[in-house]
Structure 1
């Protein structure tokens, strides 16, 4: 038996809580992992609270991230005792995830734990930080340099935004944070933002084109915010889009793309190919100031996950939430 968060949906309703789970209930997979740490992400919050149609079958253990030690393996790349991590691949949605003390998974989904991080540090980064790194890599791949001008980061006080600011600042970019939480301005500047702008000025319908300002962007919001960011991006600037906290719609015009040559790059972290994952984690080891992880993250126990999911959905949590599944 092991403990985990279990989401159930039946005639009695939709509910999530800590339960004792028998190992025989674990889904099929060729690697069994003794989990030490997981995380609480926005997607996990949607799943646990039922505020979004994230879970595709029930019962479900949520948790799109995990770090732990291989307990049993039939996969050629992993053996008992190996330290591993996982981000995405639909775990916590269609396959039991990381918010439990054990997980059975496909070995092809795993990544060896980078030597530069402890499991706790790796989960302080988690899917949010790995996604932020994918955004930075996309900006670099499309030729955006620190000398080109300001990079705007929306949803800045969240997990993706926090890590993106820290990475970009260390790489020498001038970073402007956009947040609806003015009280977090000092936190964001501590991560490396040179300025903090109010979310409200981006959240309403705007003009097809605005004054050029941004050389690049990391957007986790979508909807009007993404449209306004595109409309104010410089000639041949690059906007990376990786989230939908403000909505799935994109009420924009083609003007920024055909008149200014703006590039809009979609960032998918869930099904991202393994070579790209390995490169993202390698770069995180090189380009993220580990000392800032203590500022970015907080740790909770498994019993605190459900109430924290509610706080996350209410916008009451900043940075990253690491879950020690053994407390």
Structure 2
């Protein structure tokens, strides 16, 4: 059991974030892919994804093994960015920061897999890992990312409402059945590798839901303890999961024509998400990336853009709507 001890300053610095981004949930999904945890919710997804994996994905078992510790690629890739930006950040991470992860891994488990040991100094090793992670994302998570992100946004909003109504005490008491709050200590039934006591010492705590991680976990930057993150399992009901698995992805034809992310931008605009900020939040990509995609869609005559009271509003054209009706149902 992990015990997190709060001071009054820590309670004042409790924060809520919806996600660390697409890369983080992709890595978390590897945990959900194992075994049969919450089979009614994740069983169909597991069977479909497992059927599409082959030997080239074996490296993923080294990155995220069944028991901790693991190679923490999330912090190295900078949280809360879209997948391509996270990949770029990981490629340029300083060797010292990358080397800290296998060193920690070795200190807990002894032997470090050869590929992970080479990530600090070999750019080719980083590219190999990223290529495999990106391929897995497009196979397992990408088709559902918009719905997953929307679900995590809703989870955060719900927790924020609890905090407004019942305070931090009510929030910490309601996170998950494996998390128990008895002021000033939060007790968490999690991976045995995390057993012990954690003193926040005024740094506060970031609370973050995960769609795929079904046991609580604690993450921190090995080089900077300023942000300590408690990841708790988001509430995922059968109906909510069904909506994510079936109602989220652009069709294969539309994705092939426009590119999957650009197709998702067009769909979101047609669904009534008119601003760049709203699109970025819904799709889990940066505002700059949204602007690039909307520029291409506008040049192709699929959307129009206008300014209204300081905001930039995007609207699908009839051509854009016709394209969606033809290729996305």
Bin for the TM-score computed over the shorter chain = under 0.3
* Larger of the two Rg values belongs to structure: 2
Q: Greater share of helix residues, 1 or 2?
A: 2
Higher relative contact order (CA 8 A, sep 6+): 2
Q: Greater share of strand residues, 1 or 2?
A: 1
